[in-house]
């Protein structure tokens, strides 16, 4: 997908944004190149020195996380795209309370304002084989899930995440949740997927 580098000014050109195909489908995100850009003539593009679209590749990439409806959704973007440009694109389809976590771990609202300290997440990961839910804490939930999956024969599912500002607040919330569901504890951070715990996760 391509978005404008400078929202509202197609002469500045476009750069790419990339999401997982499943995420594009379930959020019904348009993959069309901005009409304002495609409407430009070739001459206009050359005069503006933006004749084409930037190529995709693993180089020149910034990795973001979209926090939407309690989920952490990974996003890759070309390095030319600013936080403002990404937030502007998100506003075209995402709920107003959606947040964007930058590669540096800073959390931004969709208007581009910083939320506060580096983002941490409380996550809930489900193991269907053992009917258990892990309540843990991480800065990069996708990487944490991948690490857990590598050492688990069972398929793990990320149920929800809670974005938290700063390490201290994340640690406090994690401990509070462990205390709240201590009667369901199986081992370490794994808790029995009881109806009460499932109901808590569902309402997030």
Same domain, 197 and 108: no
Same domain, 125 and 93: no
Same domain, 105 and 129: no
Q: Is the pLDDT of residue 105 over 80?
A: no
pLDDT tens digit sequence for 63-98: 888 888 877 888 999 888 888 889 989 999 999 888
The range of the structural domain enclosing residue 38 comes to 2-112
Same domain, 15 and 104: yes
**pTM for the full predicted model:** 0.56
Tell me what pLDDT residue 201 has.
93
| Across 167-196, average pLDDT | 93
Q: Where are the alpha helices (DSSP H) in 91-157?
A: 141-150
Q: Which residues pair with 124 in a beta bridge?
A: 135, 160
Cα 7 from chain centroid (whole Å): 21
**CATH code of the domain covering residue 126:** 3.40.1440
Single out the residue of 73, 76, 75 nearest to residue 57, CA to CA.
76
Q: Looking at 95, 112, 129, which one is the last position of a domain? A: 112
CB atoms < 10 A from the CB of 179, how many? 9
Same domain, 11 and 90: yes
Q: How many domains does the chain have?
A: 2
């Amino acid at each position: 997908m391509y978005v404008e580098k400078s929202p509202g000014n197609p002469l500045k050109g476009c750069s790419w944004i990339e999401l997982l195909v499943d995420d594009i489908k379930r959020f019904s995100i348009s993959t069309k190149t901005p009409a304002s850009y495609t409407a430009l003539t070739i001459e206009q593009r050359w005069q503006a020195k933006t004749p084409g679209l930037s190529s995709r590749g693993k180089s020149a990439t910034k990795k973001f996380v979209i926090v939407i409806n309690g989920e952490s959704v990974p996003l890759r973007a070309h390095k030319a795209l600013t936080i403002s440009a990404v937030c502007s694109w998100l506003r075209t389809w995402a709920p107003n309370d959606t947040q964007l976590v930058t590669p540096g771990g800073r959390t931004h609202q969709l208007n581009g304002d910083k939320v506060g300290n580096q983002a941490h997440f409380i996550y809930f990961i489900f193991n269907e084989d053992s009917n258990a839910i892990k309540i843990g804490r991480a800065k990069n939930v996708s990487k944490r899930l991948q690490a857990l999956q590598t050492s688990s024969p069972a398929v793990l599912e990320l149920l929800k995440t809670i974005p938290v500002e700063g390490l201290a607040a994340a640690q406090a919330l994690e401990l509070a949740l462990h205390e709240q569901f201590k009667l369901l504890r199986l081992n370490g951070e794994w808790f029995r997927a009881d109806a009460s715990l499932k109901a808590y996760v569902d309402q997030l």
